[in-house]
Every structure is written in C-alpha cells, then in structure tokens.
C-alpha cells in the first residue's frame, strides 16, 4: 500500500480527485519516513530571544513512536473501529497518537476543549468511546463526571498518572515493538470524528472517512503547490496532521490554540522566523495581532511563502497589512469551507485586493474564489426544510442569492449519531451526498463564489431579504477599520436592521458625544451606498462574542439579544 503513494499523488487531477479503493491516510507517515528519515517531522517552539528553542522528533522517530503506540494499544485490547477520545495538547504526542490510531484502524474523536465543560461532556457521552487518552487534567474531568465516560474500557494518561488515570503512554509503549503496521482500510472506512466549533448551534461530530482525508490532501496540494521540504507553522493544530502527507516539517508555535485571539504576536513571530516557516494556517484573530505588531516593530517574514487564513471572513485591510510583511511573490490565501467540507474554494490576496475589493466595499459580499479541486458548488433557494434527494432544477442562476450546496470527495456524509442534523444538512445524490453549508451566497459572471453570511443570520424585513456580510463590508471599510455586525430586531418578516460596532479598548473612556460623532462618520462614509440605508440604528459594543475555535466568527445570536435589551 505504501509504495503506491507517489503514483496516487502524481495522477490526481482538478476535475476529479481520484480515489483509490484501499487507502489509509496514516500511510503517508511511513512513506515520508522512508524518504527522509532524518528530516524534522514535528517541532515545538518555546521561549523568546536567547531562551528560544525548537525541539521535537525526526520522521524516523515519529514513525517508530506511532508504531509502538499502535501496537501497544492493540495489545491492550483496542480493536479496529473503536472510537478513541483524544485530549492531548498540540505537540509531538498529538501527531504520533493520531497516526497510531489510524494505523490501527481505530477512530480518533477530536473535540475542542474550549467548548466548555457542559458541551464537551455532552459530546463525549454521545460518542460512546471505548478508549480514552488524555492529559492529567482530562482524567480529572473523567473522574469528576464519570457518567459521560461510562463506555470507556481502556484508559491511558499522557504525562504523569493522575490518581485513577490508568497506565501512562510511556508505560504502555515501554516494551512495544516499533515494527511497521498499517491497517488495510477502504476509502469509505471511518477515519476520525472531528467536532464542529458550535458557533451557530450545538457542536456536532463530523464523520471523516479515509477517502475524505485523502481528497483533502490532494486538493490542498493542487491549490497551494506545497514543495517537498517546506516548513509549516501550525497555528491550528488539526492542520498539522496534513504535514507528513504534504512532505513538510510541522512547527507548533507557543500559543493556546483554544484562544488564538490572545496569542502573543512576538512569540508567533519568533516561531515563524526562527523555524524558517514557509507556510502557516490560522484564524484571522491571530493575524489581526501579528500583522500590526510586525508593522509597528519593523519586522518582516521573508521566508514565508503563503499565509492561509480561515474561520471567518477576512477583510481586505488585514490582507493588505499582511502582504506588507511578506516577500515579493508570497501571498495570503483565504480558503473557504467548514469542518464538514474543506476546502470548498479559495482566493489569493492579490485577487482580494483587486476588483474583488472594489465590489466587496460596494456591498457585493465577500469573494471566496473559484471552486476547489474536485468540488462542485450549487446555489439553491433558501429553505429550512430537509432536502432528501438532489434536484438539479433547484439551481439558481449566477447573481441570485441562495444557499450554498457542495459536492465532492472531501465532502463528509454524516454527523455521527445525529440523524436529525444529518437529515437537515445532507442531500442524497446517487451514491454520494451533497452538503448544505448553511451559508448564503451567489456566483458572479466569472464563476467566482461570493459569501453573504450564514443562513441563520439572514434578516427578513418589510423590504425583503437582507444579508449581514455585504452591509458590514460597507461600514468595515471606514478609515477607522472597525468591526461591525448586522442583526435584526423584531419579528421575522418585519425585522429592523441594527448595526453594532465593536469599539477598540482605546474608546473605553470616551463619552456619548464621541460615539455620536463616530456614528455620524459611519453614516457619512456609506452615504453613497443605497444598501447601507437599511440600517435603522447604530449601537456600540465593548467586545463581540466570538466562537471558541477561531475567535473570529461573530456570535450574532448573542448580539441580537443584547441589541434588543438596549433598544427595549
């Protein structure tokens, strides 16, 4: 199986990401270890200045460690198909254990710890894991709330053993063989369950197959032309799992991945600069801190070839700032997608700052580019009802707003153990499924996709449908560079559009007169834009509530309730 990988990578095309019948996404690790055993595989950055360090493992060591973990867990009683809840910090063990589980044919379940205790426990209980692997703090949670972990039979502690935390990972692997193994799995076999961030509802477990992951690797390679030997700074830990498949070294910067908006920009810069990172992936919240810091301190990142930003719409102003600290020829890219399907489309910074910016700042929405390799995108009428089977006659013409529906080999087919949400989000289309993104958008005449906002965030007014993102873009282009959110007040069909402006900390002590002047300035800025006239009120908020994963998606549902209280 491993020997076939170069041929598989070489013969994929943008028309259809060719899928082998037998594939295990973990096979990329032994393939890479055989090619470049002494190349750094995973590095962890620590410290600043003279105290900065990079430590980790090479590919041969990572391969051997993942084999020992896989064999030790199988000897301990883990079986192919077992779901394994994994709560491990970003670093060597996260990569080694995840690949070990996939090699063994088990199914890692990855839940964002930033969800909060109640949501996290509900996710664990729903998954019914047989194996639990976690740091001591996770074991403490298991002991205090045993009901959520009632199905767990095998427990492993990463780090020291905490009370009843079971064997440690090191104890488990002490006598295990490092002989290679890789379970014979098909493209339709389950590979992992990855949870959504819950930014627009309860978190859901997305079932990934080995074929889904394989298609993602091929699509990412074709979109961004990663070269053998590149260094990727993983500001979003899950993206690090692609590094072996893309022949890269993964570097984990020193940051809390659950709080990207609080990252230390100097530490990020140090990790990117001193590791020689050529690529990086992260939330807009990270770069809203790093870009100003670099510009203020006269720092650049000449080795960085590409910055991938995802998780929320990215403003042209941020793209412009980032391009100032990159070398000529490097660029910013904003892939569009979701946990259920990624990538769906992508657009470069050069495109964003061209005609797309003019249109975005004139109320067209946010351009997210052309469809990604292997992806077919359709726009259909907005509906809350389930669509059991695909009907091609529903497709809308270019320029018409509707719900975004996607199809392709990287599109997942279900939410694990959640038939209700699955029925609402998936559409049967022959032997595969289309996914309803829950987003509203349209195609332009050139075939590029434009994003207008979440379906659940749409406003139904007396004048008709109003989407938030196009209106927000008009106000966000103000010279102050403020972030805004449009919400609807009142009953559906008669909602009154209210614009909420997030004030920077420097405005904390400014009075009402200053805010009235700013509101008038915003009105003046958009005076020539007819679409902006729908805004009935402008309110000011100290700090927008955002999602736990990217700290970038605005929780408009919470802002709507807040605005209703302010205007009551």
Domain extents for the chain?
25-35+56-183, 459-567
Angle at 28 between CA 23 and CA 29, to 5 degrees: 135
495-535 pLDDT tens trace: 999 999 999 888 878 889 999 999 999 999 999 999 999 99
Mean of pLDDT values over 469-488: 94
Both structure tokens of 151:
């199905």
| Distance in angstroms (rounded) separating the CA atoms of residues 244 and 242 | 6
Helix, strand, coil percent content, the chain, rounded in steps of 5: 35, 25, 35
Does 2 score more than 50 pLDDT? no
Candidates 137, 44, 141; CA nearest to 88 is 137
Mean of pLDDT values over 274-289: 96
411-429 pLDDT tens trace: 999 999 999 999 999 999 9
Q: What is the pLDDT of residue 312?
A: 87
Q: What is the pTM of this model?
A: 0.94
Q: What is the pLDDT of residue 250?
A: 97
Both structure tokens of 100:
């070990």
- Contacts of residue 342, defined as CB under 8 A and 6 or more positions apart, other chains included, come to 216, 310, 335, 410
Lowest mean pLDDT among 88-92, 181-185, 194-198, 207-211: 194-198
Query: What is the number of residues in the chain?
Result: 568
Parallel/antiparallel/unpaired status of strands 279-282 and 306-309: parallel
Backbone CA torsion sign across 23, 29, 33, 36:
positive
112-141 pLDDT tens trace: 888 889 999 999 999 999 999 999 999 999
Q: What is the pLDDT of residue 45?
A: 97
> Which residues, listed in sequence order, are joined to residue 379 by a DSSP beta bridge?
404
**At 194, is the secondary structure helix, strand, or coil?**
strand
Does 166 score more than 90 pLDDT? no
The CATH number that domain 25-35+56-183 falls under is 3.40.50.980
342-366 pLDDT tens trace: 999 999 999 999 999 999 999 999 9
Token pair 């106000």 is at which residue? 475
Mean of pLDDT values over 95-102: 98
| Distance in angstroms (rounded) separating the CA atoms of residues 324 and 306 | 13
Q: What is the pLDDT of residue 16?
A: 54
459-567 CATH fold: GMP Synthetase; Chain A, domain 3 (3.30.300)
Q: Return the biggest CA–CA distance within the chain.
A: 73
Mean of pLDDT values over 240-251: 94
Does 482 score more than 60 pLDDT? yes
Same fold, 25-35+56-183 and 459-567: no
Parallel/antiparallel/unpaired status of strands 496-502 and 483-489: antiparallel
């Amino acid at each position: 199986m491993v020997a076939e990988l170069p041929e598989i990578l070489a013969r994929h095309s943008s028309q259809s990401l060719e899928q082998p019948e037998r594939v295990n996404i973990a096979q990329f690790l032994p393939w890479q270890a055989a090619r470049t055993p002494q190349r750094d595989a995973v590095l962890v950055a620590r410290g600043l200045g003279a105290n900065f360090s990079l430590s980790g493992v090479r590919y041969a060591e990572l391969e051997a460690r993942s084999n020992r973990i896989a064999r030790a867990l199988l000897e301990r009683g883990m079986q192919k198909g077992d779901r394994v809840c994994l709560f491990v910090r970003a670093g060597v063990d996260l990569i080694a254990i995840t690949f070990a589980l996939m090699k063994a044919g088990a199914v890692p379940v990855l839940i964002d710890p930033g969800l909060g205790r109640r949501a996290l426990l509900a996710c664990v209980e729903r998954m019914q894991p047989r194996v639990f692997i976690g740091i001591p703090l996770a074991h403490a949670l298991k002991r205090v709330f045993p009901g959520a972990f009632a199905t767990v039979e095998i427990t492993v502690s990463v780090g020291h053993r905490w009370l009843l935390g079971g064997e440690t990972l090191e104890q488990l692997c002490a006598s295990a063989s490092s002989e290679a193994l890789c379970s014979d799995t098909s493209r339709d076999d389950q590979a992992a369950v990855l949870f959504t961030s819950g930014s627009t509802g309860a978190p859901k477990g997305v079932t990934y197959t080995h074929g889904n992951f394989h298609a993602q690797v091929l699509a990412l390679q074709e979109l961004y032309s990663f070269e053998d030997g590149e260094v990727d700074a993983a500001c979003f830990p899950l993206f690090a799992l692609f590094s072996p498949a893309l022949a890269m070294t993964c570097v984990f910067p020193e940051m809390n991945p659950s709080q990207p908006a609080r990252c230390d920009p100097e530490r990020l810069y140090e990790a990117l600069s001193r590791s020689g990172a050529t690529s990086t992936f992260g939330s807009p919240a990270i770069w809203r801190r790093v870009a100003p810091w670099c510009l203020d301190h006269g720092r650049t990142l000449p080795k960085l070839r590409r910055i991938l930003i995802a998780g929320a719409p990215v403003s042209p102003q941020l793209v412009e700032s980032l391009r100032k600290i990159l070398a000529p020829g490097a660029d910013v890219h904003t892939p569009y997608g979701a946990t259920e399907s990624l990538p769906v489309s992508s657009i470069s910074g050069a495109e964003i700052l061209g005609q797309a910016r003019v249109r975005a700042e004139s109320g067209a929405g946010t351009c997210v580019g052309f469809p990604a390799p292997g992806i077919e995108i359709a726009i259909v009428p907005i509906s809350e009802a389930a669509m059991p089977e695909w009907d091609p006659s529903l497709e809308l013409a270019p320029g018409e707003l509707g719900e975004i529906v996607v199809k392709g080999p990287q599109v997942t087919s279900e939410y694990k153990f959640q038939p209700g949400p699955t029925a609402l989000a998936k559409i049967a289309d022959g032997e595969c499924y289309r996914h309803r993104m829950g987003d509203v958008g349209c195609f332009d005449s050139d075939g590029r996709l434009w994003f207008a906002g979440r379906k659940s965030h749409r406003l139904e007014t007396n004048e008709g449908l109003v989407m938030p993102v196009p209106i927000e873009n008009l106000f966000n282009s103000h010279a102050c560079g403020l972030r805004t959110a449009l919400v609807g007040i009142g009953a559906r069909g008669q909602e009154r559009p209210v614009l909420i402006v997030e004030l920077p900390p420097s405005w904390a002590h400014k009075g009402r007169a200053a805010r009235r002047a700013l509101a008038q300035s915003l009105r003046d800025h958009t005076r020539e834009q007819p679409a902006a006239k729908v805004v009935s009120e402008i309110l000011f908020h100290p700090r927008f509530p955002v999602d736990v994963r990217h700290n970038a998606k605005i929780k408009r549902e919470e802002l709507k309730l807040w605005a209703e209280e302010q205007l009551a």
